[in-house]
Amino acid sequence: MKDKILVIGASGQIGVELTLALRKIYGNENVVASDLREQSPLLEGKGPYVSLDVMNKEMLHVQVIRQNITQIYLLAAVLSATGEKNPGLAWNLNMQGLLNVLDIAREEQIKKVFWPSSIAVFGPSSPKQNCPQQTIIEPATVYGISKFAGEFWCHYYYQRYNVDVRSVRYPGLISYKSAPGGGTTDYAVEIFKAAVEDKKYECFIREDTYLPMMYMPDAIRATIELMESEAKKISIRTSYNLSAISFSPKEIAAAIQKHIPAFTIQYKPDYRQKLANGWPQSIDDSVARKDWGWQHEYDLEAIVKDMLDNTPAIN
């Protein structure tokens, strides 16, 4: 049977670009975009779209059957900063949304499911440098707790029901096609718009705070490479560490200043500083590199150049 993919949360920062990339591979008509909110102008008229609430299991089930879905990418979630403002919402959506998808995948024998975890599974007691795949995991945010629990639900459904669910722990993602949705690493996206439009930025993270980051094209490629790998190569059924680069606000500001010398940055840390302090500064993703050949392409300079070339397009 031909593959038919459902992307849930397709209007979000990752969803727009992942849907575009999947449509290139599988054909526009074989990738169904879905979200609670309206579809992105970048997707409009270029393939099927359904309005869908992942919390409504019955409606989700009907769509999966009606559209003959064989693969699901679940991206709908509340991210770290928004989660701290509304812990109940974050827990409900991040857990129940995943359980709805896993249950339907099991009942309908969906071939493959993708669900992303995050560096936020790690907490203050995890190693700060080159944080390994297996280590102390004691998340300190509701978002991190939901990702940690989600990873083990994925593992459970794989072990017990043979649901082929795959996952990576994304670092902070930098992109220009769709705005970020309420994370702590969003500063590394906002800074570009501010640099281009105002030549100044007030950063909510301290200048010396290092976090793991990745450019969206690398993240999309990682996701699709993992999903297209042979099942026998996948040794991690919780979630793979995934890494590209690490930098601080001071370093990204300096890289922008090479292109926009008048750009200035000020620092006014807020509640998000504590979240960032709890996460590793860099990640060891050697297991992903060994199992399915992961390699990142973009370094900080390449990211900054491409972002500045495209930043007027941020909506």
Q: Using CB under 6 A, which residues numbered 141 to 180 contact ligand NAD? A: 170, 172-173, 180
Binding flag, residue 120, ligand SER (CB under 6 A): yes
CA angle 245–286–144, rounded 5-degree value: 65
Q: What residue type is 146 in one-letter code? A: S
> Which of these is catalytic: 73, 143, 187, 240?
143
Q: Please report how close the Cβ of residue 18 comes to ligand NAD at its closest, in angstroms.
A: 8
Asked if 5 contacts 32 with a C-beta cutoff of 8 angstroms, the reply is yes
Token code pair at residue 286: 């050697």
Q: Which does 80 bind (CB under 5 to 8 A by kind): ligand SER, ligand NAD, none?
A: ligand SER
Minimal distance in Å, beta carbon 65 to ligand NAD?
18
Residues 3-32 that bind ligand NAD (CB under 6 A): 8-9, 11-15
Give me the helices (H) in 86-186, please: 87-107, 142-161
Asked about 143 being catalytic, the answer comes back as yes
Q: What's the distance, CA 17 to chain centroid?
A: 11
Q: Tokens 């559209």 sit at which residue?
A: 67
Q: Tell me the angle at which helices 57-66 and 87-107 cross, rounded to the nearest 10 degrees.
A: 40
Cα dist from 21 to 5, 48, 227, 252, whole Å: 12, 15, 13, 27
Q: Rule CB under 6 A: is residue 184 a binding residue for ligand SER?
A: yes
Scanning 27-35, 44-52, 178-186, 231-239 for contacts with ligand SER by CB under 6 A, the matching segment is 178-186
Binding partner of 93, given ligand NAD, ligand SER, none, CB within 5-8 angstroms per partner class = ligand NAD
Alpha-carbon separation of residue 305 from 126, 175, 176, 213, 258 (angstroms): 33, 12, 12, 16, 10
Site for ligand SER in 265-304 (CB under 6 A): none
* Residue 54 binding ligand NAD, by CB under 6 A: yes
Q: Which is nearer to ligand SER, 60 or 275 (CB)?
A: 275
Q: Which residues bind ligand SER (CB under 6 A)?
A: 79-80, 118-120, 143, 172, 183-185
Q: Which active-site residues does the annotation give?
A: 143
